Amino acid sequence: MTRVARCIEALGKLDPRRERSVVDVRCDEGDPWVASTLSRELHFVASHTVHHFALIRLTLARCGRSTPAEFGVSPSTLAHRDRRIPVQ
């Protein structure tokens, strides 16, 4: 099993009641530890992943490759686009 597969499996086993569990995080070695929550950290990872997907999308476009329209676009932006009234 790959490391990614193990991470996915572990995330699937998380107890939803633990999402508000306090965790200590830091950006880099030597940085101060700060309190956060498991939920906040997972949301940050998801958001940051979309950011990287957007950069990948731009790189692929410069190479003449296409991606699905929603690739690299945040879920909130997609939801906003769906709610807009088309201009006539």
Residues 10, 15, 34: CA angle, nearest 5 degrees: 80
- Spans of all domains in the chain: 33-88
* pLDDT reported for residue 82: 86
DSSP of 45-61: HHHHHHHHHHHHHHHHH
Question: pLDDT by residue for the chain (88 residues), tens digit each?
Answer: 899 999 999 999 999 888 899 999 999 999 999 999 999 999 999 999 999 999 999 999 999 999 999 999 999 999 998 887 666 6
Pairing mode of beta strands 34-37, 22-25: antiparallel
Q: What is the pTM of this model?
A: 0.73
Q: Where are the beta strands (DSSP E) in 1-88?
A: 22-25, 34-37
